Every structure is written in structure tokens, then in C-alpha cells.
A and B are shown apart, each in its own frame.
Chain A
Amino acid sequence: MTQAMIDQLVGNLKPVPKLRPGHLWGVGVLIIILTAIYVVGRFGVRPEYLAMAHLTFTGNEAVYGKPLLLLWAGVACLWGVARLYRPEGQLGGTVWAFMTAPVILLLLNIARQFAEMGVIESLSRVDDYASQCIITNFFGGLIAFGLLWVLWLRKAAPDRPAVFGAMAAVGLACLVAATYSIRCDRDAPTYVLVWYVLPILAAGGVAGLMSRRMLRW
């Protein structure tokens, strides 16, 4: 039986190029571009970014901090994916630290918000206007995950497919959210936590469940 299978495998042998993490980053850039086209075409850009064209910068660091934090989280997760796509892949301490840092930064900002304006006022910032954030971050993340699956992910051989898929979806959803935030003018940390981070994690959860089957090998 095994001998027959070996004969068959040898008979089907074709040269294969190495699966390169570079293609993963390429898909990440593609997703940022596609999201930017969608967001700018459908919603436009928030005024603070338009003002940057005239070299006018706002003093509100959250305007720049929010997309940068999401971009950081996205890059960190994709870096993790690039480390785990092979059977013997390991995350490593540096990647762990890089992934944890944006979470800690967000939590510190939430603590600062609570200290400055109190819990009640902080929670009141988690208000309206959220449907587009949820739709874009959650579904955008899942669509991006689907695109990556077609182009790269399905060829991978991770040791833990569910974790691997969830990490990929969270990373991509973060990239989508970072791009979407060039339009969204709600910068309160509690708002980011509820309408950005939770949909991103939800996308990761759904992708993780799907990956148990889709990435099984």
C-alpha cells in the first residue's frame, strides 16, 4: 500500500516554488490599498488628514495614534503568521512582545481616559455612529481573510490551524480598521475598544473556527 502511494506521489511530482512570507506582506499591502479605495470613495477622509496636505497638523495625538496603533497590531499579527506558517514554526519572544505592546498601549489609554473624565463620561463616548465601524472592521476583516486564504494561507502548514487562522484574521482586520480610521473621527479609547477591537476579535474568532477545517492538513 505504502509502496503504491510512494509510486503515485513520485509520479505526480512537479517542481514547486517555496511558499514565501513576502507574499503575505504583499497581500497585506493590497488589502490596505483596496480598503483605502473603498473608504475614500464611499466616506471620504476626515478633515485633519485633508489639512495635512497643507502641512497643518492637529495637536490631538489620537488622530494619528489610532491608525498607527491598529497598523502596529496588524503588522505584529501578520509577523506572527509569517513565523507560524511552517510546521516547525515558532512565535518567539520578540513577536510576542511586538503583539502585546499595542494591547498594553490601548489599555493604558483607557485607564488615562477613565482617570481624566471618569468612567461614566468615558463610557458615554461609546455612542452612536458605530454601525459603519462594526461592518467595516468585522466584515472587512473576514473578506480580507478570505482573500488571503485564496492567495496564500491555504498553502501553509501551521501546527495549530485555528490559532494561525485567528491570528491572520485579527491582523488583517487591524489593517482594515487602521485604513478605515482615516475616515472615522471618534478617537476615544473606549470607543476604539468597543467598536474596533471587539469586531476585530470577533472576526478573529470566526476565522479561527473556520480555520480548524479550512487550514487542516
Chain B
Amino acid sequence: MRAALDGDASAYRDLLMALRPFLVGYFSRRLNAGHHGQAEVEDLVQMTLLSLHEKRATYDRSAPFLPWLMAVARHKLIDYVRKTKKTVQVELDDTLSAVDGYGPALARRDVVVLLAQLPKDQARVIGLHKLKELNVDEVSRLTGHSAANVRVMVHRGVKRLQALIAGGAL
């Protein structure tokens, strides 16, 4: 998305193509759309992609992309439901899950953006411990920090990440 904001058409095409199946899954599940509902799902996907294009200036480059996209999709879904007077279940704190296609690859991009907002050393320690799942002693050996220091850095870093998420960074 960042490349697309700078006018990179190829990156933008890749993004839109990647988002299409993700959005189809998101809307299908929320509309409980079977085979007959695919047309309205496709409509919603198109409306969302169009809104994404028109309102792309509101995307903050320093923030993860998926929560922004999710908010756009949710807005279009509510708008559509209001117009058609359909009944669907949209949670107030609608969150992405694996069933929506929010898999490791997509989540990883957001984690990278968030970690970039922490000091380099702390981000590395959290990456090793939480993402690569190394234990504290292994992280300590690799980074040169004491085990106690690694625990403190992870604890403070995770709290900082939670604050970033609560503050709208995610």
C-alpha cells in the first residue's frame, strides 16, 4: 500500500489482487452467503476496493494496513446492510481471525510495522523470543543481554506494543 501511495501501479495491482479473495471470504462469512449470495458478495468487494482507492489518502503509512482495510470493509458492509435491510452479525469490536484469511503472512506485515516503532534492540529481542520462539536463554546468548534483562525488555516491549495498538497504531 505504501508503494501504491507513491504511484507504483504494479504494487497496487498485486495488492488489489491479493485483497480480492480475502474480502470475498470476509463478506461471505458475514452475509452467510451461499452460492446464490455470491453476486452481492462480489458487489461488496467492488465497493470496498473502490472506497480503498478513493480514500487511500486516509491511510497512515506508519500504521499497519489491515486494520485500516478492515475498517473500510466493515463500513461498506454496514452501509450495504442498512440499505438492503438485511440482518447480519457485525461485532462492535469486529476482529480479524484465521478464518477470514488473517493468516501468518498477513499478520507478519503488521507485526513488522509495529516492531519498527520500538528501539531496534528491543524489537530484535521480541522478534527472537515471540516470533522465532527461542527461549530466554537462547535470546540472551544471541543478543548478549542477561536473561533477566531479556525478560524485562520483552515485558516492556509487549506493553508498549499493546499501548500502540490501543492508541490506534493498529
Contact = CB atoms under 8 A, between A and B. Distances in A.
B159 interface: no
B20 A2 contact: yes
A6 B45 CA distance: 11
Nearest to A6: B16
A159 B71 contact: yes
Contacts, number: 85
A86 interface: yes
Contacts of A217: 51, 54-55, 75
A89 interface: yes
Contact of B49 (A9, A12, A13, A19): A9
Contact of A157 (B12, B51, B67): B51
B168 A89 contact: yes
- Could you tell me the dominant secondary structure of chain B's interface residues? helix
A16 B57 contact: yes
Interface in A70-110: 83, 85-90, 92
B51 to A, nearest CB: 6
A155 interface: yes
Interface residues of A, number: 28
A150 interface: no
Interface in B8-52: 9, 12-13, 16-17, 20, 42, 45-46, 49-51
Nearest to A4: B46
B164 interface: no
A13 B4 CA distance: 8
A157 B20 contact: no
Nearest to B68: A88
B56 interface: yes
A11 B16 CA distance: 13
Interface stretch (B58-66, B111-119, B134-142): B58-66
B56 to A, nearest CB: 6
Nearest to B7: A15
Contact of A16 (B9, B56, B72, B75): B56
Contact of A9 (B42, B45, B50): B50
A18 interface: yes
A5 to B, nearest CB: 6
A159 B6 CA distance: 25
A16 B17 contact: no
A14 B55 contact: no
Interface of B: 4-7, 9, 12-13, 16-17, 20, 42, 45-46, 49-51, 53-61, 67-68, 70-72, 74-75, 167-168
Interface of A: 1-2, 5-6, 9-19, 83, 85-90, 92, 155-157, 159, 217
